[in-house]
Amino acid sequence: MGASRLAGVSRHWSEPTLRHLTRLVPLDVLWYINSKEGKFSLTFDDGPHQDVTPQLLDVLARHQAKATFFLIGQRVIGNESIVRRIAFEGHELANHLMRDDPSILLPDPEFRRQLRQVTSLLAPYGQVRWFRPGSGWVTRRMVRSAAEMNLRCALGTVVARHTGGASDERIARRLVGQIRRGTIAVLHEGSPDRLGVAATADSVLAELGHRGLTSVTLSELVEVRRSAGST
């Protein structure tokens, strides 16, 4: 099964099953880490947003948690103060290309151009190590092109999408049941109908905190693996 197809089904299959399936994917993509420490990583796609992102930052600060924000370049412009706050509060900035479109449809020159442009927008605020393609579909060509810019693809084995509908109330319960040590969880912000993501993050961090699990940035999560000597 290809990496792009796995990304598409990750909202429906169990986290342990997806961990097993990702071992069959012949791409250098970070999906999760093996760890005995109580660390996982919350990642947020599609920001920044003038209302949603500050609420998320307030929640993360309240729980003394860290996260990685995959930002859309088009939304960075005009929201630089929010990007600055993300970095200042110890979170990680990552590349989600220029627009909220399926990256897999971009010709390679345009894909590369957008990667370079977004990294250039974010670089004044901190080092950019990760990218995540729009819509989560990835190919070998995309991974290779990004690697030439010192960017590694990071997806995840738990995905949640807020829509402003009734299903939002069930998202936190599902996430709490799926997230474990080493999990990379993908949540979505960036628009008014996703205001519920802040309440979801609050519930998830509170419940998992009682279980001894803490959210850290992707780079911190990878460092946990390196220090433990695991693969």
- CA atoms of 187 and 44, how far apart (whole Å): 5
pLDDT digits (tens, 9 = 90+) for 23-79: 777 689 999 999 999 999 999 999 999 999 999 999 999 999 999 999 999 999 999
Comparing C-alpha atoms, which of 187, 190, 197, 195 is closest to residue 72? 190
Q: Is the pLDDT of residue 176 over 50?
A: yes
Q: Which domains does the chain have, with CATH numbers?
A: 3-228 (3.20.20.370)
Cα gap 17→41, rounded to integer Å: 18
Question: For residue 229, what pLDDT band results from cuts at 50, 70 and 90?
Answer: low
Distance CA 164, CA 188 (A): 12
Burial status of residue 2 (CB atoms within 10 A of its CB: 0-12, 13-18, 19 or more): middle
Could you list the beta-strand ranges (E) of 112-201. 130-131, 152-154, 158-159, 184-188
- Nearest CA to 100 out of 86, 114, 80, 87 is that of 114
- b/e map 124-142, b = 16+ CB within 10 Å: ebbebbbbbbbbbbbbeeb
Rounded to the nearest 10 degrees, how much is the dihedral formed by the CA atoms of 198, 203, 208, 213? 20
**Which residues are tagged catalytic?**
45, 188
User: What pLDDT is stored for residue 145 in this prediction?
Assistant: 98
Let me know: does 95 contact 157? Beta carbons within 8 Å.
Answer: no
3 state SS of 169? helix
pLDDT at 13: 63
Which residues on neighbouring strands pair with residue 41, listed in sequence order? 184
In contact, 102 and 137? CB cutoff 8 Å = yes
**Spatial contact of 212 and 38, defined as CB atoms under 8 Å apart:** yes
pLDDT digit string, tens, across residues 68-118: 999 999 999 999 999 999 999 999 999 999 999 999 999 999 999 999 999
DSSP assignment, residue 131? Answer: E
